[in-house]
Chain A
Amino acid sequence: MLRIAAFSLFALFFLFPLYAMGDFSTRAPGTGARTLDAWKNLVADDVLFGGIVISVALAACTVAAMLLVLVPTMIWVRLRAPWARGLVEFLCLLPLTIPALVIVVGLRDVYLWVTYFLGESTLTLTFVYTVLVLPYAYRALDAALSAIDLNTLSEAARSLGAGWAKTILQVIVPNIWSGIISAAFIAIAVVIGEYTIASLSGFENLQVVIVQIGKTDGATSVAASLAVLLFGVALLLLLSLFTRDRKLGVEAEDPALLTPAPTVAANRGADA
């Protein structure tokens, strides 16, 4: 009984603001009538829609870059360069200790060079976002790689004449799908919600646009914020259900995968 009462109080504290966002974003100003104008702005408002498009593109680029860099590196470290495994793990988990706020202060000089070579596209944020998602991606991929016999798989493929590219893409990747999906989903959630680095280095992503619009049109910003939160919950819930159904040896619903703490998962990785 006490348990239900306590749980209800928590539910009230956490769900009321979400309900309030729904109510606030559908309220017509002045009158008590309902309107979906704020929600229509997600598509109708050019600036907001532009922000959505750029953040989705950033998420896609970040996922691609993360997989392209991290998957071969982690496989290589396990097979051919075990001396570097500790280093790679340390570097991957480092962004948990160095806040984004600190990175962005030192990033200005770096981005002078990036924009010099690549132009002033918001998509150049892909680089630093790839670093931001490393801890989460590393844990998801590490758990998946620990669950398979990587040595035997790669030796079998190589002895049958497959090159490294073929071994990784056609033999190893299909066996670590659950880890790849986890890494990708969490990376998408991080990128869609990112504000600190974009705003302080002068780029306009979805969150920056939401804050700008909020100065004149609160309802639209509240609608967009609620949409982002619901999208995130749906993404993680889907991931948790997906990995359960596939039963591929990795528990992506394991909250430790999402923990912003360096050592708990590090210990788990070591004994897995």
Chain B
Amino acid sequence: MTKGGVGRQVRVSLPLAPFLALVGIFLLIPTVIVIVSAVYQGGQFSLDRVAALAKPTALRALWNSVVLSGVTAVVGSVLGAVLAYLIVSSPPASLLRRTVISLCSVLAQFGGVALAFAFLATVGSAGVFTVWAKANLGFDLGSSTWLYSLKGLILVYTYFQIPLMVIVFLPALEGLREQWREAAVSLGASTWDYWREVAIPLLRPAFLGSMLLLFANAFAAYATAAALVSQGSPIIPLLIRAALTSEVVLGQAGFAFALALETVVVVAVVMIAYTMLVRRTARWLQ
């Protein structure tokens, strides 16, 4: 290649520099730091930090995180699919539908801290539902601290998992063509046959894929749990908080790196499975 050719290549690549620098410094380097710091200590390869993941505290947090993510992924995807079906059967450009979708995206992705306060205001010790139930139904919700336990987290997480399912599953439902149903019916199928033989097999990969996405989403969610649970670390994200904020005191320096590595591995594995499932849907969704 001539000298002019090299110069041209540099000129063509140069405008990409700001973007690559931004992503490199603030996304790739932090990720590499997490992975490397989890297995390197003082310049030497060491599995001490990763081995700390097998301690009872970390194992219990992992188990709780898996239960929390698993339960809310299953409940969220089933109820979310039902809600998505209800939305799809409404007129496409109606204000109601737009409002529901906007509300779903806010609750699913931008809620965070606000959702914790929503549930404190509803079923917290002085919450509106708690007060009402005490006065009218005669049972007391507020005396227990269940909202701050795994049960409470499951309830609050379901509140953002269902809307997330609506958003990710809606495109697949909208991809079902009316003609397919007509074709099935004209060949003598009942509505039930159509769902059982055509729609459900077509939607299954998208449904299972969305469930995996919900699992990953709950596993790595931090803000809602952190705002709700101020003491103790029942799940992995809160254990990361504890390790980050008190690592000097407890002498567990670097434990956060191992926990973050664990999180990224779980999320990456789930997302790869998700990608493989969604590829199958994408074939007919286009």
Q: How far is the CA of A23 from the CA of B101 in the complex (A)?
A: 24
Is A248 part of the binding interface, using a Cβ–Cβ cutoff of 8 Å?
no
Q: How far is the CA of A70 from the CA of B226 in the complex (A)?
A: 32
CB closest residue in chain A, given B129: A20
Contacts of B82 in A (CB 8 A): 6
Contacts of B81 in A (CB 8 A): none
Q: Report yes or no: A195 in contact with B220, Cβ–Cβ below 8 A.
A: no
Is B30 part of the binding interface, using a Cβ–Cβ cutoff of 8 Å?
yes
**Chain B window 1-36, contacts with chain A (Cβ cutoff 8 Å), 1 for yes, 0 for no:** 000000000001101101110110111011111100
Is B237 part of the binding interface, using a Cβ–Cβ cutoff of 8 Å?
yes
Known interface pairs A98-B27, A105-B257, A106-B32. Does A195 touch B227 (Cβ–Cβ under 8 Å)? yes
Contacts of A28 in B (CB 8 A): none
Contacts of B107 in A (CB 8 A): 14, 229
**Chain A window 182-213, contacts with chain B (Cβ cutoff 8 Å), 1 for yes, 0 for no:** 00000001101111100110000001001100
Q: Report yes or no: B112 in contact with A195, Cβ–Cβ below 8 A.
A: yes
Which of chain B's residues 239-280 have a Cβ closer than 8 Å to chain A? Answer: 240-241, 244-245, 256-257, 259-260, 263-264, 267-268, 271, 274-275, 278-279
Partner among A104, A195, A236, A264 whose Cβ is within 8 Å of the Cβ of B106: A236
Contacts of A76 in B (CB 8 A): 15-16
Q: Report yes or no: A263 in contact with B279, Cβ–Cβ below 8 A.
A: yes
Contacts of A106 in B (CB 8 A): 29-34, 37, 257, 260
Known interface pairs A103-B31, A110-B26. Does A222 touch B106 (Cβ–Cβ under 8 Å)? no
Is A47 part of the binding interface, using a Cβ–Cβ cutoff of 8 Å?
no
Segment of A139-147, A169-177, A254-262 in the binding face: A254-262
Give the tally of cross-chain contacts (CB within 8 A).
271
Which of chain A's residues 205-258 have a Cβ closer than 8 Å to chain B? Answer: 207, 210-211, 214-215, 218, 221-222, 225-226, 228-229, 232-233, 236-237, 240-241, 244, 253-256, 258
Partner among A6, A24, A110 whose Cβ is within 8 Å of the Cβ of B121: A24
In the complex, how many residues of chain B place their beta carbon closer than 8 angstroms to a beta carbon of chain A? 92
Centre residue among A94, A130, A233, A262 by max chain B CB count within 10 A: A233
Contacts of B12 in A (CB 8 A): 80-81
**Chain A window 10-45, contacts with chain B (Cβ cutoff 8 Å), 1 for yes, 0 for no:** 100110111111011100000000000000000000
Q: Report yes or no: B286 in contact with A131, Cβ–Cβ below 8 A.
A: no
Is B183 part of the binding interface, using a Cβ–Cβ cutoff of 8 Å?
no
**Chain B window 90-124, contacts with chain A (Cβ cutoff 8 Å), 1 for yes, 0 for no:** 00010000110111111111111110111111101
Q: Report yes or no: B171 in contact with A264, Cβ–Cβ below 8 A.
A: yes
Is B47 part of the binding interface, using a Cβ–Cβ cutoff of 8 Å?
no
Is B137 part of the binding interface, using a Cβ–Cβ cutoff of 8 Å?
no
Is B40 part of the binding interface, using a Cβ–Cβ cutoff of 8 Å?
no
Is B128 part of the binding interface, using a Cβ–Cβ cutoff of 8 Å?
yes
Partner among B34, B118, B223 whose Cβ is within 8 Å of the Cβ of A196: B223
Contacts of B223 in A (CB 8 A): 193, 195-196, 207
Contacts of A70 in B (CB 8 A): 19
Partner among A17, A20, A99, A211 whose Cβ is within 8 Å of the Cβ of B267: A99
Known interface pairs A14-B159, A222-B117, A259-B167. Does A105 touch B30 (Cβ–Cβ under 8 Å)? yes
Contacts of B170 in A (CB 8 A): 255
Known interface pairs A81-B12, A106-B260, A225-B114. Does A17 touch B159 (Cβ–Cβ under 8 Å)? yes
Return the 4 tightest CB-CB contacts between A and B, nearest first.
A106-B30, A99-B220, A24-B121, A225-B114
B contact set with A: CB distance below 8 Å: 12-13, 15-16, 18-20, 22-23, 25-27, 29-34, 37, 79, 82-83, 86, 89, 93, 98-99, 101-114, 116-122, 124, 126-129, 159, 162-164, 166-168, 170-171, 210, 213, 217, 220, 222-223, 226-227, 230, 237, 240-241, 244-245, 256-257, 259-260, 263-264, 267-268, 271, 274-275, 278-279, 282, 285-286
13 interchain pairs (CB within 8 A)?
Answer: A14-B103, A14-B159, A24-B122, A72-B15, A84-B13, A94-B23, A101-B220, A105-B30, A127-B25, A193-B112, A196-B222, A207-B112, A226-B117
